[in-house]
């Protein structure tokens, strides 16, 4: 039998990183599901990719200027830096309208510093 890659402890750690407060039942199920999916993903290791350049974006293929370095390479995605941007900012009231809690000026959240 294969040893499970993901333990209960891993799940708790990753849940914390992802800001998820999983129930006991969810954690148990997550251990099972992640191990099953990762077991399947394992087959990627059959491929030797030592000399392959990673591909993060399709748009790299049609936009990037390979002859340039750094941010110059991605000049296709740049736009002029204008004060109002491409559209004016949302009016304050509209930006706050969907907030679960707001005081008219700011979003309101529970205490950040715990006792």
Partner 1 sequence: MNLNTLTIDTVRSALAEGTATATSLALSFFDAIQKQDGEIGAFLTLSKERALIRAAEIDGLVKDGKPLPPLAGVPVAIKDVMVTRGVRTTAGSRILDNFVPPYDSTAVARLEQAGAVALGKLNCDEFAMGSSNENSAYHPVRNPRDTSRVPGGSSGGAAAAVAAGMAVATLGSDTGGSIRQPASFCGVVGMMPTYGRVSRYGLIAFASSLDHIGPLTHSVKDAALVLRTIAGRDPMDSTSADVPVPDYVVELEKPIKGLRVGVAKEYFGEGLDPEVRGSVEAAIDRLRDLGCEIVKVSLPHTEYAIPTYYIVATAEASANLARFDGVRYGYRSKKTRSLSEMYQRTRDEAFGTEVKRRIMLGTYALSAGYYDAYYLKAQKVRALLTRDFDEAFRKVDVIATPTSPTAAFRLGEKVNDPLAMYLADIYTVTADLAGIPGISVPCGQTKENLPIGLQILGKHFDEATVLRLAHAYETGVRE
Residue 89 in contact with partner 1, rule: CB under 8 A? no
Alpha helices (H) in 18-52, listed in sequence order: 24-41
Structure tokens at 14: 């990753």
Exposure class string for 104-114: b at 16+ Cβ within 10 A, else e:
eeeeeeeeeee
Q: Residue 66 or residue 114: which is nearer to partner 1 going by CB?
A: 114
Q: Within 28-87, which residues bind partner 1 (CB under 8 A)?
A: 29-30, 33-34, 36-38, 40-47, 49, 52-59, 61-63, 76-79, 86-87
- Could you give the C-alpha distances from 38 to 26, 28, 45, 57, in angstroms and in order? 17, 16, 12, 23
CB of 69 vs partner 1, minimal distance in Å: 20
What string marks each residue from 2 to 31 as x (binds partner 1 by CB under 8 A) or -? ----x---xx-xxx-xxxxxxx--x--xx-
Of all residues in the chain, what percent are helix, strand and coil, respectively (each to 5)?
A: 45, 0, 55
| Sites of contact with partner 1 (CB under 8 A) | 6, 10-11, 13-15, 17-23, 26, 29-30, 33-34, 36-38, 40-47, 49, 52-59, 61-63, 76-79, 86-87, 90, 94-95, 97-101, 107, 109-112, 114
């Amino acid at each position: 039998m294969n040893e499970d890659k993901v333990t209960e402890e891993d799940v708790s750690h990753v849940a914390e990183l992802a800001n998820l407060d999983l129930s006991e039942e969810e954690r148990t199920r997550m251990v099972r599901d992640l191990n099953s999916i990762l077991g399947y993903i394992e087959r990627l290791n059959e491929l030797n990719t030592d000399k392959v350049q990673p591909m993060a974006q399709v748009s790299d293929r049609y936009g990037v200027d390979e002859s340039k370095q750094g941010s110059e390479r991605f000049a296709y995605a740049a736009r002029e830096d204008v004060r109002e941007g491409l559209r004016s900012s949302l009016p304050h009231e509209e930006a706050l309208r969907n907030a679960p809690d707001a005081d008219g000026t700011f979003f309101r959240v529970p205490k950040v510093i715990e006792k």
